[in-house]
Structure 1
Amino acid sequence: MTRSKGWSWLLAGLIIALLAGCGNNGAGNAVQNTEKDAALQKVKVVLDWSPNTNHTGLYVAKEKGYFAEEGLDVEIVLPGSGGSDVMVASGEVPFGISVQENVTQGRTQGVPLVSLAAIIQHNTSGFASPVDRNIQSPKDFEGKAYGGWGSPVEQAVMKSIMEIDGGSIDKVKLLNIGEADYFTAIKRDIDFAWIFYAWTGIEAELRDEKLNMIYLQDYSDKLDYYTPVLVTNEKTIADDPELVKVFMIATSKGYNYAIDHPEEAAQVLLKAVPDLDKELVMASQKWLSPKYKDDAARWGEQKREVWQNYSDWMSEKGLLEKPLDTDKAFTNDFLPE
């Protein structure tokens, strides 16, 4: 899985249109609907991408009955054309998967997303290249072709770590490859791309295609942000905090199970999504499970300094219209002790 598309600069406009069109009745109806099949409340959670090991805890919580224990019948759905952020912020669904950069960008544009949990404690993304391209540090990007999705954020990230290493982004050929497969693009058009190692990097290992990996967190603490995160919207928190509480109790159980039982958790994901490659899911889950919690006191814990550091970095790079109100962007209040 290559790095997913960054925050759309048109998202605020899209959300205004959605709010006008649907009147926030999506999540509101789900939250307020007291008719429960088999005493369970139907709730949707939307993924940010096609199912992968970032999402395993949700599938475990559903399969193991953790959601049902909390009175919920949870449906895991794929994002629509506007993406998961639009669906959650507009109230179409109450919960979804996002990334810290999208929440940060969106909130400064009036988008009411709130992060409930860090799915992974540290940023496992970075710039990957085949070893034969001899890209061993950011300065080595010079003279090479980069494949991305044309976001100002990705260019700012690349520029930032290149400058730390004494390089210049002006010497990089920037190509927009959209959602093209990394392994196809790297053989055809580009020398390096931004990936999540837990999926694309592990797939490269299985293909015996050796990579040089340049992790963002190795070059700046400000780039060790939370990606992905589990989000809701302000209205759901205000109207039904109990729903948020029980959803997070069950989700936490799902991810903690995946931490303790990676192979069994991988089997749950494969059962739910049988089209996934079994070898890749197994290897990815074993690599990723310890990183869900890592050095945090509990799964999902978010630190204010991580949110502040990244928003400061975005402000420094001219990527925010106004400063982020950090304390409203995330909450740990719904994580079980």
Structure 2
Amino acid sequence: MTLTFKPKLATVLSGLLAVMALSVTPAALAQTKIKMVLNWKYQGPQAWFFLAQDKGYFKAEGLDVEIDQGEGSSAPVAKIAAGAYNAGFGDMNALIDFAAKRPAEAPVAVYMIYNTPPFTIAVKKDSPIKTPKDFEGKNIGGPANDGALKLFPALAKAAKFDASKVTISNMAPNLREQMLVRGQVDGIFGYINTIWFSAKLVGLDPDKDLRFINYGNHGIDLYSNAILFSRGFVRDNPKAVQGFVKALNRAIKEVVANPEAGMDALMAREPLLKRDLEKERLMATIKEEMNHPEIARIGLGDIDTERMKRSIGVVVEANQLPRTPTVEEVFDRRYLPARADLISKF
């Protein structure tokens, strides 16, 4: 007699499901969606975000990251608070301002990138404006969301001039340098490297044609752009925040070691950009805006707590804000990689 064994359907299905489960990677099991807004249009200093996408570093952490172009370093704060984005790359001082006014809605920074103040006002080389005091009676222009414009009251207080005697004009970002050259404004707000390279794009030689009055030379030792997340997202998805920072930190280290890989990722998104100029912009940003001496001690990504306390105080006092946020309200270092994994020098 021949005996025939017929397994139950449930047993067969359960075996198939087990095999399928073993074949699925952790990233595929849990793709957490993150919608992120940049500080500006696609440029060289954003290359690491794109490399992290293209190399699968975000995906390896179980993340599906969508990245949109921005409208200025201050803008991501309000966009995240409004729920339009989970994350952004935006100005720390705009975050402090927002947290002082609407603490429950304010995003939180988790990874500091621009640790050296890049804020400046550029004037023509032959301008009579030589010091901040000379801004009085003049017309200074910039995009409404520009970080340097937002911090103008702090500069006025530190440099002891009357900001009420200065006319402020707003313009589209792509018109900033042209309006300065045409004499429609006497100076323009911006980040040093942003103005420098935008000026080159419109045919100026920044060395010969412009002078820069830098905030950092007048007592404004503030942090600048950081990775921001909404409080709700941090609360509900702490592993995703940690994974995002880990992937980005990995990508920054790779771009620093191999800038051409970063340029490949950037140009894949915006082929009309001038590759050589964007690489030059990237390298200048690393050197001038990410290279504060403190990184030798704490690493790129972290902050000096006492310095941040002072920064908060400067922003609160200059803008007469209703309250003083704590460091912990605006920066949460719990999601940083281990100290040994952070860049200590460039």
- What is the TM-score with the length of structure 1 in the denominator? 0.78
Distance in 2 between residues matched to 1:62 and 1:180, nearest whole Å: 28
Whether the 8 Å contact between 2:27 and 2:59 is mirrored in structure 1 is no
2:225 aligned partner = 228
| Structure 1 residues 322 and 40: CA distance shift in structure 2, 3 A | closer
Q: What is the letter of the counterpart of residue 249 of structure 2?
A: S
Instruction: Specify the SS of the correspondent of 1:308.
Output: helix
Distance in 2 between residues matched to 1:148 and 1:74, nearest whole Å: 31
1:283 aligned partner = 280
| Structure 1 residues 134 and 263: CA distance shift in structure 2, 3 A | farther
Q: Which moved more, 1:280-289 or 1:309-318?
A: 309-318
Whether the 8 Å contact between 1:293 and 1:300 is mirrored in structure 2 is no
Deviation at 1:216, TM superposition (A): 0.9
The count of aligned residue pairs is 298
Q: Which runs of 5+ in 1 are unaligned?
A: 1-34
**Which residue of 35, 42, 57 corresponds with 1:51?**
42
| Structure 1 residues 134 and 265: CA distance shift in structure 2, 3 A | farther
1:8 aligned partner = none
**Which residue of 77, 87, 105 corresponds with 2:68?**
77
1:127 lines up with 2:118 in the alignment? no
2:218 aligned partner = 219
**Which residue of 90, 93, 98 corresponds with 2:85?**
93
Distance in 1 between residues matched to 2:213 and 2:158, nearest whole Å: 10
Whether the 8 Å contact between 2:47 and 2:262 is mirrored in structure 1 is yes
Which structure 2 residues correspond to residues 1-337 of structure 1 after superposition, within 5 A?
A: 40-79=31-70, 83-108=75-100, 109-110=102-103, 111-148=105-142, 153-163=150-160, 167-169=161-163, 171-177=165-171, 179=173, 181-188=175-182, 189-205=184-200, 207-209=204-206, 210-220=209-219, 223-290=220-287, 291-295=289-293, 296=295, 297-337=298-338
Deviations 1:103-132 (A, max 9, x none): 111112222310011121111121111212
Whether the 8 Å contact between 1:195 and 1:201 is mirrored in structure 2 is no
Task: Provide the alpha-carbon RMSD of the alignment.
Answer: 2.8
Instruction: Specify the SS of the correspondent of 1:133.
Output: coil
Whether the 8 Å contact between 1:153 and 1:319 is mirrored in structure 2 is no
Deviation at 1:154, TM superposition (A): 4.0
Q: What is the letter of the counterpart of residue 214 of structure 2?
A: Y
Distance in 2 between residues matched to 1:232 and 1:217, nearest whole Å: 27
Deviation at 1:182, TM superposition (A): 1.7
Q: Give the number of the structure whose alpha-carbon radius of gyration is greater.
A: 2
| Structure 1 residues 85 and 69: CA distance shift in structure 2, 3 A | same
Q: Which runs of 5+ in 2 are unaligned?
A: 1-25, 339-346
